[in-house]
Amino acid sequence: MLRKLTVLFMCLTLCWTTVACGSSNTTSDQNSNPNISSNPIKQNRNQVTQGQYPVQQATYNDANGEYTLMLLNTPSGTPPMYSTTDLQMASLTEEEIQEGKTNYAEINGNQASLHIKPDFKIEYVHNVTETQTDPQTGRQETIIVRRESNFWTPFAGAIAGQVVGGAISNMLFRPQYYVPPVYQPGGVMTGYGGYGNSYDQAVNRYQERYQAPPAAVKNRQTLRTTGVTNSTRSNNTRRQQQNLNRSTGSGASASDLRRSNQAKPRQQRRSFGSGGLSPSRRGGGFGSRRRR
């Protein structure tokens, strides 16, 4: 009898040890496999997720193609900032403008459509990049060395009578995806580089016109592949917040993150469809003024 109890006790002890080791190995495997714990589903950081809101300001950042909107009349305690890379745009009709309709955004989760007057100015944050070798790792890295700021009016050509034809005119008044024209300092940028029912279609039309991908598409790929420091990202976020919180005004600005010998691109005037520069800068926009 004693022998049977001893054998039974040893079996139970062995089973308990096996279970404990298995649990430990499972925990160890989870910690060593980053795909299990470090790849969470991307959460929506916007607290405004649904509804129609007037828009006071808008910023576009070509580091990642993200739009940041400053909304009005948001619920009490809800931050007015809304950011997304999935934004469609449409021009307000003459009837809507005469009826007193203001610029507004229709928000549905991470998707939004921005309905604006033809003279509405979107602040364009342009990131100048360089590919350098990290002296510590020897890796080639693309880094942001300077940021510049200008204004972009996607539908300004329509109000000037540069866009004619029923098909094109109707297109302006329904939400579509638009890619900005090639960034140029100086006067306000007008028109668009590409458009389409999907973002990919807008990008394809841009590439057909310029024989190169848009800045946001290129930067998303190179900055993700070679890496960009967290300090650069955080500085970029803080700078956008500061620009949106400043008083409105016209003018472009630039901030040097690093010394650069790159020459500024030559200004070119283009028609509305391909984007261009307006002859003069008008007030009523927003963003940072050039420091003197």
Q: Are 89 and 204 in contact (CB under 8 A)?
A: no
* Bridge partners, residue 174, by sequence: none
CA dist., res. 203 & res. 177, Å (int): 9
- Using CA atoms, how far residue 87 sits from 84, 126, 259, in Å, is 7, 18, 34
What is the token pair recorded at 107? 């928000």
The mean pLDDT of 234-256, rounded to a whole number, is: 49
Size of the chain in residues? 292
pLDDT for position 211: 96
* Bridge partners, residue 148, by sequence: 126, 254
The mean pLDDT of 96-105, rounded to a whole number, is: 95
Burial class (CB in 10 A: 0-12, 13-18, 19+), 290: exposed
**Is 50 exceeded by the pLDDT of residue 19?**
no
CA dist., res. 261 & res. 132, Å (int): 14
Share of the chain above pLDDT 70, in %: 57
Query: Where does the chain show beta strands of DSSP type E?
Result: 50-61, 66-71, 81-84, 86-91, 104-108, 111-116, 122-133, 140-153, 177-179, 189-190, 194-196, 253-256, 276-277
pLDDT for position 9: 61
Confidence class of residue 171 from pLDDT cuts 50, 70 and 90?
confident
**Is 80 exceeded by the pLDDT of residue 140?**
yes
Confidence class of residue 57 from pLDDT cuts 50, 70 and 90?
very high
Burial class (CB in 10 A: 0-12, 13-18, 19+), 185: middle
pLDDT for position 224: 64
What is the token pair recorded at 180? 């900005």
Mean pLDDT of the chain: 74
pLDDT for position 241: 53
DSSP 8-state symbol, 118: T
CA dist., res. 144 & res. 223, Å (int): 9
Query: Which region holds residue 227: left if phi is over 0, alpha if psi is between -120 and 50, else beta?
Result: left
The mean pLDDT of 217-241, rounded to a whole number, is: 61
The mean pLDDT of 11-19, rounded to a whole number, is: 56
Alpha carbon 276 to its chain's center: 21
pLDDT for position 16: 57
pLDDT for position 144: 92
N- to C-terminal Cα separation, the chain:
98
**Is 90 exceeded by the pLDDT of residue 288?**
no
**Is 50 exceeded by the pLDDT of residue 264?**
no
Most confident of the ranges 53-57, 107-111, 129-133, 257-261: 53-57
pLDDT for position 232: 47
CA dist., res. 281 & res. 249, Å (int): 10
The mean pLDDT of 163-189, rounded to a whole number, is: 82
- Using CA atoms, how far residue 168 sits from 98, 156, 245, in Å, is 21, 14, 35
Confidence class of residue 198 from pLDDT cuts 50, 70 and 90?
very high
The mean pLDDT of 68-76, rounded to a whole number, is: 95
Confidence class of residue 84 from pLDDT cuts 50, 70 and 90?
very high
What is the token pair recorded at 33? 């496999």
CA dist., res. 278 & res. 122, Å (int): 14
